[in-house]
A and B are shown apart, each in its own frame.
Chain A
Amino acid sequence: MLNDLLYRLRALFRRKSVEAELDEELRAHLEHQEHRYVQSGLPLEEAKRRARLEFGGLDQVKEECRDARGVNLIETTLQDIRYGLRKLARSPGFTAVAVATLALGIGANTLIFSVVNAAILHPLPFRDAGRLVTQWATSPTVGYSGPGSLTDKDYMEWRDQNRVFSDTAAFRGQPTNLTGVGEPVRLNGATITASLLRVLDVNPALGRAFAPEEEAAGHDRVVLLSDRLWRSRFDSNPAVLGKAIKLDGEFYTVIGVTPAGFDFPDQTEVWTPLTLNIEEHNATLQIVARLKPGVSLERARNDEAVLGKRRPAQPGDWEWHTTLVLLTQAAAAEVRTPLLVLFAAVGLVLLIACANVSNLFLARATTRQGELSVRKALGASRSRLVRQMLTESVIMAVLGGSLGLLMAALGQSFVAKAASLLPRNLESPSAAAHIASAGIDLSVLAFTLAVSVFTIILFGLAPTLWATRGEMNSSLKGEGRRSTTGRMQGYMRDGIVVAEVALAVILLVSAGLLIRSFLHLMTVDRGFDPENVLTLNISLPESRYQSARPMIEFEEQALDRLRVAPGVKSAGSVFGLPLGHWLIGGDFTVEGQPPLAPGSQPFIATKAVVGGDYFRTIGIPLLRGRYFDAHDSEAAPHVVIVSQSLARHYWPLDEALGKRLKPGFSNDAWCTVVGVVGDTKQYSLGEPSSPVMYLPYTQAPATFMMQDITFVLRAGSGPLALASAARRAVQAADPDLPVFDVATMDQLVYRSASEPRFNTALLGVFAALALVLAAVGIYGVMSYAVAQRTHEIGVRVALGAEASDIIRQVVRQGMLPAVIGIATGTAGAWGVTRFLSSLLFGVRPTDPITFAMVPVLLAAVGVLACLLPVRRATKVDPVEALRYE
C-alpha cells in the first residue's frame, strides 16, 4: 500500500524525469531489437523499420504505461478542467444562462438557509444552548401559546427541590424609564436572579455580575447595562462602573456591562436583581434552567418539582397546559412556520433551476453527440467521457455556487436593511428581525457546497449518462434526432418541463393565496378610523405616583394641554389601544347570569381604560347610550361601556343599557352599562373583533391600568406634525416623563401587518422567479425542438402550408408537457396548501379564485414561450431550411 502511494507520488511530482525514463526505456528496447536484426544480417535501415513496426504505437504504449502507473486520474482531471473551461468559454450564451440560473437557485437557498439556521437551528448564542430549558404554556381557551409564568414561590420550590437541573434562574421582563442621562427614554429592562448569567454561561464584558446577596431588598440597587446602551448613552466609557443612574425614579449603581450582542430575554438594555417574595400571588416569573449532563428532556419533564408546578384545574379555570421545552424551541416558535414555508418555497425554486440547467445540458449533450462518438471511436473509454462531462458540470456548479454565495451575501444585507425598518413586536421577535440578524457563516458555506454538489448530480449525471449510452453509429451518421436515444432524450426533456411547471404552479398558488390573504387583511373593517390619528405613550413611575389621585391629576392636566395644542381637534387617553402595547383580557361576572358549568370555557373580553374624548378621537361609533363624561368621576357610580359583541352575547334580545357587571379584578364593584360602541380589532387585524369593556380612567379597577397611558390625538391633517407639540404638552404636565413610541394610527396598522407583508412579499418574489424560470425552461425546450424541425417546417412552408396552421399545430404539441405540468401542479397544490393555513386570514387553503387564476396565468405564459421560437422558425427562408439536414 505504502509502496503504491510512494510510487504514485513520485510519478506525480517528478513527472518530467519519469517521462524521460519511460522514453529511454522504450527506446532501449527498440535499439536492442534493431541490434538483433542487424546481427542476423539485415541492413541498418531495414532493421530499424522492422523493429519499429514490431513495436507498434509508441505513444499508445506510453499511454498504457502511464495508466499502469496510476497517476492518470490527477493528470486527466487537470486536462479535463482545462478542456471544460475552454468549451464553456466558447459557448458564452449557454454558460451565462446556466450559471445565472444556478446562481439564482443556490443564492436564494443559501440566503433562506442562513436565516433558518439562525432562527430555528441555532437561535441562541449561548454555550450548549441545547441543554437549556424553559416553561411553555398553552391555553386553547385564550388562544395563547407562549412562555409560561410561575409565582415566586413556585420558582423557589423548583429551584430547591428539583433533581434534574444543574442550575436554575428566573427573570421578569420589566420596561423601565431611564432619566438623568440625556433625554428620558423608555428601555426594555429585566429583573433577574444572580444565577441567570451563570446558567446562560455569559460573563460581563466589563465589571461583574450580580452576587446572590444582591437579590435581597435593600441591596438590590445595582444594575447591569447592555453593550448597546453603554455605547450610545455612556460613550463606551469604562468609568461608568460605580456610576449611579436613575431608573423609574430610583438610583441604581452600575456594576457591569454585558457583552456585545447579549440582550436576553428580549432586546433588554438594563438588568436589575430580582427579589423573590414568597407571598406573591401573581405568576410573573419566567424560568430558564440547564439540564444536568446526561439528563434527557423527558426525564426532566417527569421530575417531581417540575410536575408539581402544574396548576390544578378549577371550574372556570382556563385550560392551561404547561410543559418543559428547550429554550431553542421556545425562541424559534413564533417564526417556525413562516420560515419553513419560505425554505420549502426556495427549495422548489432550486429544483426548477436545476431542471432548467439539466435541460440545457441535455440539449447540449445531444448536439455534442457527434463529437462524443468520434472520441469514442478514437479509443476514449466511456468512463473517461463521463468524467470529462462531469468535470464540466462541476465547473458549472462551482461557478454557479460562488456567484450564488455572492448573491446571497448581497441579498442578505439588502433584506437586513429592509427588515430593520420594521419594528419588532415587543413580545416576540419577528421573522423579519431574524433575517436581519442572520449572517452568512461556515455552516451556510458548507450547505452551499452541498447544494452545488447535489445540483451536479442532478444535472450533470443524468444528461451525461444518456448522452454516452446511445448508439454511436447513428449519431455519426447524423441521425441523432430520430434514433432511439434521440427520442429518449426528447421524453426526458418533456418530463423535466412537466416537473418544473408543476412545481411552479405549486409556488404560484401558495403566493396567490398569501397575496389574497394579505389584501383581505388590509381591507377588513377595523372598527376604528386610523386616519389622522397620532398616538404617544408614557409610563408613570411608581415612585412618584403612588396612588390613583396624582395619576388622575396628571392625566387631566396632560389632556387639557393636549386639547389646546395647535392642530389638535380632539384628544383622549387609553390603556388598551387596538394593535397597541397594553392589551389585557380576562373573564368577568355579569349580573343575573347563571354560574359557569365546571369545565366549560369562560367568555373572555378585552378590558380597557379610557379617558378624555377617546372614542370620538379614534372613531369608534356609539351605537346606544352615551360616552363617558365629566360626571363619571372617582366618587360617582361605577359605569362601563361595552362593545357590541359583548352586548349581543349576554343580552341578545334585551336592552344592554342599565345592565350590570363586575370587571373581574380584585376589588371589584358593580358597573352599570351606560353605552354600547362598535366592535374593533384588538390584538391583530387577522383575528375576529374581540368583545371589549371600557372603564373610565377615574374609575380604573387597578393601578397598573392607570400607570401606562396611550394618548390619542386627532388632527385636521398631517398627524405627525403634531408630534413635537404633543410631546411638549405632556412634558409640561411632568417634565421627567419619557414619551415613547410616537406613531400615527395608520403606521400602527401598517406595522401590525408587517409579518404577513414580509412573508407575502418574499414568497411572491420566489413565485415570480419560479414563473420566469419555468417560462425560460419551456422556451428553451421549444427552441430546441423547433430547431430540430426546421427542415420539416421549411418543407411544409415551401409546399404552401399556412404559417398560422403550422404555428398552431407545433404550439399545441409543445404545450402538451406544460399542460400536463399545470394539471399535476394544481392537483399537488390542492394537497399541499393546507400547511399554509396558519398564515392565511379570511382565505381558505383551497380558495377557488386562486386555483382558477394560476393555471390560466401559467398556460398563457407557456403559450407565449412556445409561440416565440415557432414564429421565428416559420419566418425562415424555406430554401435555407431545406438546405439544412
Chain B
Amino acid sequence: MANNRIALPQGTLDLLILKTVALEPQHGWAISERIQQISSDVLQVQQGSLYPALHRLERRGWIRAKWGASENNRRAKYYELTKHGRKQLEAEESAWRKLIAAVGQVLETVATG
C-alpha cells in the first residue's frame, strides 16, 4: 500500500482542495478523505500540509469557513468556495491541463523519436 502513494507536488494541494469544495462545502477531514477516495488511495494528504493550506486559502479569500454539525454530530469547520475562489479554480485548472498536455507531448515525442 505504501508503494502506491505518490508525493503530492507543492502547488497542487491548493488546486485539489478548491476542486473538492467546489461541489459542496466540506470540513477538513472530509476533504482529505474525499481526495484519497477519488484518487483510489494514490493521493494521501498529510494533515500537516492540509490545514495550513486551508488557512492560507481562507486568508486569500478563495474559500470561506462556517461552523456546522458533521456526520457524527460533531461540531466541525466547513469550507466552501467563494466567487473569487471559483475564478481561481478555473484559472488553475486550465493551467494544469495545459501543463499536462505539454509534458505529455514531450514525453511522447521523446519516446518515439
Within 8 Å of chain A (Cβ to Cβ): is B28? yes
Contact A56 B74 (CB under 8 A): no
Contact A25 B47 (CB under 8 A): no
Q: Give A26-43 interface residues, CB cut-off 8 Å to B.
A: 26, 28-29, 31-33, 35
Chain A positions within 8 Å of B56 at CB level = 68
Q: Which residue of A lies closest to B27 (CB)?
A: A28
Chain A positions within 8 Å of B77 at CB level = 21, 24-25, 28
Contact B72 A35 (CB under 8 A): yes
Q: Nearest-CB distance from B109 to chain A (Å)?
A: 40
Among the stretches B1-9, B58-66, B92-100, the one at the interface with A is B58-66
- Secondary structure call for the B interface: helix
Q: Nearest-CB distance from A71 to chain B (Å)?
A: 10
Within 8 Å of chain A (Cβ to Cβ): is B16? no
Contact B47 A32 (CB under 8 A): no
Chain B positions within 8 Å of A61 at CB level = 47-48, 51-52
Query: With A28-B70, A28-B74, A69-B59 given, is the CB distance from A64 to B29 under 8 Å?
Result: no
Within 8 Å of chain B (Cβ to Cβ): is A175? no
Among the stretches A1-9, A548-556, A788-796, A811-819, the one at the interface with B is A1-9
Contact A4 B29 (CB under 8 A): no
Within 8 Å of chain B (Cβ to Cβ): is A130? no
Within 8 Å of chain B (Cβ to Cβ): is A856? no
Within 8 Å of chain A (Cβ to Cβ): is B55? yes
Contact A68 B70 (CB under 8 A): no
Fill in one digit per residue for A521-563: 1 if any B CB lies within 8 Å of its CB, else 0: 0000000000000000000000000000000000000000000
Residue among A21, A32, A54, A69 making CB contact with B70, cutoff 8 Å: A32
Q: Which residue of A lies closest to B47 (CB)?
A: A55
Q: Nearest-CB distance from A20 to chain B (Å)?
A: 12
Contact A60 B48 (CB under 8 A): yes
Within 8 Å of chain A (Cβ to Cβ): is B87? no
Contact A56 B46 (CB under 8 A): yes
Chain B positions within 8 Å of A70 at CB level = 59
Contact A65 B52 (CB under 8 A): yes
Contact B59 A28 (CB under 8 A): no
What's the Cα separation between A382 and B72 when bound, in Å? 43
What's the Cα separation between A26 and B48 when bound, in Å? 10
Residue among A31, A57, A69 making CB contact with B55, cutoff 8 Å: A69
Query: With A24-B77, A28-B74, A64-B48 given, is the CB distance from A7 to B59 under 8 Å?
Result: yes
Query: With A4-B61, A65-B55, A68-B53 given, is the CB distance from A29 to B28 under 8 Å?
Result: yes
What's the Cα separation between A21 and B59 when bound, in Å? 15
Within 8 Å of chain B (Cβ to Cβ): is A634? no
Q: Nearest-CB distance from B21 to chain A (Å)?
A: 15
Within 8 Å of chain B (Cβ to Cβ): is A67? yes
Residue among A24, A31, A68 making CB contact with B52, cutoff 8 Å: A68
Contact B48 A56 (CB under 8 A): yes
Within 8 Å of chain A (Cβ to Cβ): is B76? yes
Q: Give B67-87 interface residues, CB cut-off 8 Å to A.
A: 70, 72, 74-77
What's the Cα separation between A446 and B21 when bound, in Å? 53
Q: Give B88-110 interface residues, CB cut-off 8 Å to A.
A: none
Chain B positions within 8 Å of A64 at CB level = 48, 51-52
What's the Cα separation between A67 and B58 when bound, in Å? 13
Residue among A4, A21, A29, A31 making CB contact with B47, cutoff 8 Å: A29
Q: Nearest-CB distance from B92 to chain A (Å)?
A: 18
What's the Cα separation between A60 and B46 when bound, in Å? 13
Q: How many residues of A contact B (CB 8 A)?
A: 26
What's the Cα separation between A25 and B29 when bound, in Å? 9
Q: Nearest-CB distance from B18 to chain A (Å)?
A: 16
What's the Cα separation between A278 and B77 when bound, in Å? 95
Chain B positions within 8 Å of A29 at CB level = 27-29, 47, 51
Contact B74 A32 (CB under 8 A): yes
Contact A31 B74 (CB under 8 A): yes
Chain A positions within 8 Å of B52 at CB level = 61, 64-65, 67-68
Contact A3 B61 (CB under 8 A): yes
What's the Cα separation between A3 and B60 when bound, in Å? 7
Chain A positions within 8 Å of B46 at CB level = 56
Chain A positions within 8 Å of B55 at CB level = 65, 68-69
Select the residue from B28, B30, B51 with max chain A CB neighbours within 10 A: B51
Chain A positions within 8 Å of B60 at CB level = 3-4
Q: Nearest-CB distance from B27 to chain A (Å)?
A: 7
Q: Nearest-CB distance from A10 to chain B (Å)?
A: 10
Q: Nearest-CB distance from A8 to chain B (Å)?
A: 7
What's the Cα separation between A28 and B59 when bound, in Å? 21
Q: Nearest-CB distance from A347 to chain B (Å)?
A: 46
Q: Nearest-CB distance from B101 to chain A (Å)?
A: 32
Residue among A8, A21, A32 making CB contact with B72, cutoff 8 Å: A32
Chain A positions within 8 Å of B61 at CB level = 3-4, 7
Q: Which residue of A lies closest to B32 (CB)?
A: A29
Chain B positions within 8 Å of A4 at CB level = 59-61
Chain A positions within 8 Å of B53 at CB level = 68
Q: Nearest-CB distance from A3 to chain B (Å)?
A: 4
Contact A28 B29 (CB under 8 A): yes
Q: Which residue of A lies closest to B72 (CB)?
A: A35
Q: Which residue of B lies closest to A8 (CB)?
A: B59
Chain B positions within 8 Å of A32 at CB level = 29-30, 70, 72, 74, 76
What's the Cα separation between A31 and B47 when bound, in Å? 13
Q: Nearest-CB distance from B85 to chain A (Å)?
A: 11
Chain B positions within 8 Å of A24 at CB level = 75, 77
Q: Which residue of B lies closest to A58 (CB)?
A: B47
What's the Cα separation between A32 and B29 when bound, in Å? 7
Contact A28 B51 (CB under 8 A): no
Residue among A8, A25, A65 making CB contact with B76, cutoff 8 Å: A25
Q: Nearest-CB distance from A35 to chain B (Å)?
A: 6
What's the Cα separation between A188 and B77 when bound, in Å? 84
Chain B positions within 8 Å of A7 at CB level = 58-59, 61
Select the residue from A25, A26, A57 with max chain B CB neighbours within 10 A: A25
Residue among B30, B48, B51, B72 making CB contact with A25, cutoff 8 Å: B51
Chain B positions within 8 Å of A25 at CB level = 27-28, 51, 76-77
Contact B76 A28 (CB under 8 A): yes
Q: Nearest-CB distance from A48 to chain B (Å)?
A: 15
Query: With A7-B58, A7-B59, A67-B52 given, is the CB distance from A33 to B75 under 8 Å?
Result: no
Chain A positions within 8 Å of B51 at CB level = 25-26, 29, 61, 64-65
Q: Which residue of A lies closest to B64 (CB)?
A: A3
Q: Which residue of B lies closest to A5 (CB)?
A: B59
Contact B47 A28 (CB under 8 A): no
Fill in one digit per residue for B25-52: 1 if any A CB lies within 8 Å of its CB, else 0: 0011110000000000000001110011
Question: 29 interchain pairs (CB within 8 A)?
Answer: A3-B59, A3-B60, A3-B61, A4-B60, A4-B61, A8-B59, A24-B75, A25-B28, A25-B51, A26-B47, A26-B51, A28-B29, A28-B70, A28-B74, A28-B77, A29-B28, A29-B47, A31-B74, A32-B29, A32-B74, A54-B47, A56-B46, A56-B47, A56-B48, A61-B47, A61-B52, A64-B51, A68-B53, A70-B59
A-B interface, 4 closest residue pairs, ranked by CB to CB distance from nearest = A3-B61, A32-B29, A64-B52, A68-B55
Q: Give A contacts to B, CB under 8 Å.
A: 3-4, 7-8, 21, 24-26, 28-29, 31-33, 35, 54-57, 60-61, 64-65, 67-70
Contacts A3-B59, A67-B52 known; list 13 others, CB within 8 Å. A3-B60, A21-B77, A25-B27, A26-B51, A28-B27, A28-B75, A32-B30, A56-B48, A64-B51, A64-B52, A65-B52, A65-B55, A70-B59
